[in-house]
């Protein structure tokens, strides 16, 4: 073998190794290079807030299904929390615990009794940027649900049509309250089909009656911007009371000709209010 041939055989693998090293270095450099202004402009904007939906008494999180679907189509992460309905203090603590597991900004939404829950759960949480009350209790400090029903001269017949049943482990004097199915549609969901409300009445989740008499804590709406949907045909929470609560909270208010379950009978309008709060 000549000296020249031997040198060519040595150089060939060396050149191949150098070529491979150069390609790897180029790939690494392309990853490390800072993005251009054009590339930066194509990066996604700040992530959307998480929307947490809290249902009220005599209901469950499925009442938010239509709103949830619409928010998800808009790219929002949604959590429809399962409110325990065991009492205002413990329910607020439960929701507060859920909020503590989330990162980023939060829009907190409550329907009916769920409004009292979010009023207490959001206090002191810097991640909650907006509160949305949907035909809901926006209680003041020391105020009880039973007191709030009388605001603005309103009156609710709900207490006259409750079915009371005991539950295991209830504190002394406490029990579960259900809406009498014979009055459910008129009081709760008068603008939904009778077939649907019959199923809702049969599957309603009861709430501990003690929640009616528990004073609220410091309200989150004093420090967090709020929105309010008034249901003008509400027979559960008087619309007069809803207007008073919305006004004193300084809420951006929308009034809809609806029964108490406005998020079910008018999901488009309610979703728009939540989007307004989120954006």
Burial class for 25, CB neighbours closer than 10 Å (0-12, 13-18, 19+): exposed
Using only the alpha carbons of the chain, give its radius of gyration: 28
Q: What CATH number corresponds to the domain at position 68?
A: 3.40.50.1820
CA distance 69 to 20: 51
Domain membership of residue 34 (yes or no) is no
Domain membership of residue 36 (yes or no) is no
CA distance 16 to 19: 5
Contacts of 134 (CB under 8 A, 6+ apart): 109, 110, 111, 112, 115, 229, 262, 263, 270, 273
Domain membership of residue 7 (yes or no) is no
pLDDT at residue 38, rounded to an integer:
52
Strand order in the sheet with 252-256: 78-81, 50-54, 106-112, 128-136, 226-231, 252-256
Number of folded domains in the chain? Answer: 1
Tokens of 37: 């202004």
Tokens of 150: 């009388």
Domain membership of residue 21 (yes or no) is no
Domain membership of residue 162 (yes or no) is yes
Model confidence at 33: pLDDT above 60? no
Domain membership of residue 166 (yes or no) is yes
Domain membership of residue 42 (yes or no) is no
Domain residues for 167?
A: 50-278
* Chain mean pLDDT for the chain: 89
Domain membership of residue 261 (yes or no) is yes
Backbone angles phi, psi at 187, to 5 degrees: -80, -35
CA distance 64 to 51: 12
The arithmetic mean of pLDDT across residues 164-185, rounded, is 97
Model confidence at 22: pLDDT above 90? no
Look up the pTM and report it.
0.84
């Amino acid at each position: 073998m000549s000296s020249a041939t031997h040198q060519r055989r040595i150089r060939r693998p060396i050149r191949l190794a150098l070529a491979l090293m150069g390609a790897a270095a180029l790939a690494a450099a392309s990853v490390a290079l800072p993005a251009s202004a054009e590339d930066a402009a194509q990066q996604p904007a700040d992530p959307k807030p998480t929307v947490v939906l809290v249902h009220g008494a005599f209901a469950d999180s499925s009442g938010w299904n239509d709103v949830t679907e619409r928010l998800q189509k808009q790219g929002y992460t949604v959590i429809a929390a399962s409110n325990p309905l065991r009492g205002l203090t413990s329910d607020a603590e439960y929701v507060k615990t859920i909020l503590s597991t989330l990162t980023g900004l939060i829009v907190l939404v409550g329907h009916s009794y769920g409004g009292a829950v979010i009023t207490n759960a959001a206090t002191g949480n810097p991640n909650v940027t907006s509160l949305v009350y949907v035909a809901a209790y926006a209680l003041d400090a020391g105020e009880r649900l039973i007191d709030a029903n009388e605001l603005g001269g309103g009156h609710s017949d709900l207490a006259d049509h409750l079915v009371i049943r005991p539950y295991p482990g209830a504190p002394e004097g406490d029990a579960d309250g259900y809406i009498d199915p014979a009055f459910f549609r008129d009081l709760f969901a008068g603008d939904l089909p009778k077939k649907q409300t019959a199923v809702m009445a049969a599957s309603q989740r009861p709430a501990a009656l003690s929640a009616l008499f528990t004073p609220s804590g410091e309200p989150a709406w004093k420090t967090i911007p709020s929105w309010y949907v008034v249901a003008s045909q509400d027979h559960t929470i008087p619309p007069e009371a809803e207007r008073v609560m919305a006004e004193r909270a300084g809420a951006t208010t929308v009034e809809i000709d609806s029964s108490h379950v406005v998020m079910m009978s008018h999901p488009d309008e309610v979703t728009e209010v939540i989007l307004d709060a989120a954006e």
